[in-house]
Amino acid sequence: MTTLTNLLDLDPAQLVAYCGELGEKPFRAKQLQRWIHQFGASDFDAMTDLAKSLRDKLKTRAVIAAPAIISDHTSADGTRKWLVDVGQGNAVETVYIPEENRGTLCISTQAGCAVNCRFCSTGKQGFNRNLTVGEIIGQLWMAEFELRRTKGIEPGPKGERQITNVVMMGMGEPLLNYEPTVTALKLMLDDNAYGLSRRRVTLSTSGVVPMIDRLSQDCAVALAVSLHASNDPLRDGLVPLNKKYPLVELMDACRRYLEFAPRDFITFEYCMLDGVNDSDQHARELVALVQGSNPVPCKFNLIPFNPFPESGLIRSQNPRIKAFAQVLMNAGIVTTVRKTRGDDIDAACGQLAGEVKDRTRVQERMKKMADYQEKFGSNFGRIVEISS
C-alpha cells in the first residue's frame, strides 16, 4: 500500500519538486499551493484549474490532512481555543486572540515541552514528541478556515483574512523542533500561501543560542525571548536551559540576530512572580543587562503569572507590576503589561496544557518532590535567591 504524501508537509520549494516527480511544471505547484493555503481546499476535485490528469494522480498519491479538532471553546472575551489531535494519544492547543485591528494565532510546535520552565504548566506534563510541518502549519490552515466558516467569509484572497499575526508561543520550544518549524514559517510568509510579513510572525524561544543564529540565516522573523530573570542564578532555577546558554551568551545572540531581523528590537517576555523576580532591584538589573556597554535594543512584555497548583508560585500584585514597569520605563525601555486573555478557558499564557503522554516522567518526579516537601518542610527544593 502506498503511503499518501500529506501536502501540508511541503514548503514552496518542496511542492515544486513534488510536482516535478509527477511530471508536472513548476507553475502547477503554485496553483496547488493557492488551493490548499488560500482556499482551504482538501478535495482535489474542487481544484478546478488543475488538469484532470493531475487531479487523478493526486487522488491516489496525496492527501491534505490537518490534525483533527477534539474540542473548540470560545472565551467570553472572544479568545478561541482548539484542542487538536496529533496522534499517539497526544493533543496540543492552538489559540486565536481577536483584537480590534488584528487577529493573532498562537501555534504549538511540540507535544509537551522538554525545557520545563518552573512557571509554565505545559512543561509540567513532560515532553512526548516534535510536531511535523503538517501538524504545525495545519493549525494555521485549520484556524483560518474555521474562523471564516464561523463568520460566513468566503475562502480565497477575496475573503477577509482572519489571522493577520502568528506567534510561535504555544506548547513546546520551537527551536528544539527546528526544521519543521522553519518549513512552516516559510509557508506562512509565502505569497502563494498565507503571505504574512516577517514582522507579523513572531517566534518565541527560551534561548537556544545556536538555533537563534541559524534562524537569523534561514528565516529571520520577529524574535521574542522568554527571559523571566535578571541574573544567572535566578534564571538557572526558573529556565533550566540558562545553565547551558547563560545570559551573556543569550544577549550576544540577540544582538547578532538583530542584524537580520525584520524588527529593530527583541521582545523580552518576563513572567511576574510574586517575591521571586519582581523587585525594583530585579528591574534595575534588567536595565543594566540590556543597556550596559553593548546595549540590546528591546522592549519588555511583562506577563502576569497564571497560577497552577504544581508551580508553588503566585502572581505579582498589580501595584508591584506597575512599579516594576515604571523602573524600566524610566530607563527609556518600552514596556507593556500583557492583558490576560482567555483565562476562563485556560487559554492564557503558560496555561496551554493539551494532553500529552509524559515520556519524560515529569509527573512522577513532581510527586516525589511533593513527598520530600512533606517530609523535610515546604522549602525543600524551592528557589531561594541569594543576595550578594
Residue 173 is labelled as binding a ligand: yes
Residue 204 is labelled as binding a ligand: yes
Task: Kindly name the residue from 219, 254, 271, 349 that is annotated as catalytic.
Answer: 349
Q: Within 10 A of 217 (CB to CB), how many other CB atoms are there? A: 8
Task: Determine the Cα–Cα distance for residues 93 and 109; give it in Å rounded to an integer.
Answer: 10
Residue reference for cell 508551580: 311
Residue 306 is labelled as binding a ligand: yes
Residue 106 is labelled as binding a ligand: no
Residue 117 is labelled as binding a ligand: yes
Residue 277 is labelled as binding a ligand: no
Q: Is 271 annotated in the active site? A: no
Q: Is 219 annotated in the active site? A: no
Residue 298 is labelled as binding a ligand: no
- 183 contact partners, CB below 8 Å, separation of at least 6: 9, 11, 14, 133, 137
Residue 228 is labelled as binding a ligand: yes
Q: How far apart are the first and last CA of the chain?
A: 66
DSSP-assigned states of every residue in 267-279 = EEEEEEBTTTT-S
Residue 216 is labelled as binding a ligand: no
Residue 172 is labelled as binding a ligand: yes
Q: Within 10 A of 45 (CB to CB), how many other CB atoms are there? A: 12
Name the residue among 120, 214, 219 with its Cα closest to residue 170.
120
Task: Kindly name the residue from 93, 135, 144, 269 that is annotated as catalytic.
Answer: 93
Q: Give the three-class secondary structure for 207.
A: coil
Please return the burial class of 55, using the count of CB atoms within 10 Å of its CB with bins 0-12, 13-18 and 19+.
Answer: middle
Task: Determine the Cα–Cα distance for residues 145 and 37; give it in Å rounded to an integer.
Answer: 9
DSSP-assigned states of every residue in 89-120 = T-EEEEEEEEETTEEEEE---EEE-SS--TT-
- 78 contact partners, CB below 8 Å, separation of at least 6: 98
Q: Which helix (H) or strand (E) holds 87?
A: none
CB neighbour burial string for 264-287, b if at least 16 within 10 angstroms, e if fewer: ebbbbbbbbbeebbbbeebbebbb
Q: Show binding-site residues.
A: 113, 117, 120, 172-173, 204, 226-228, 306
Active-site residue set: 93, 349
Q: Show binding-site residues for [4Fe-4S] cluster.
A: 113, 117, 120
Q: Show binding-site residues for S-adenosyl-L-methionine.
A: 172-173, 204, 226-228, 306
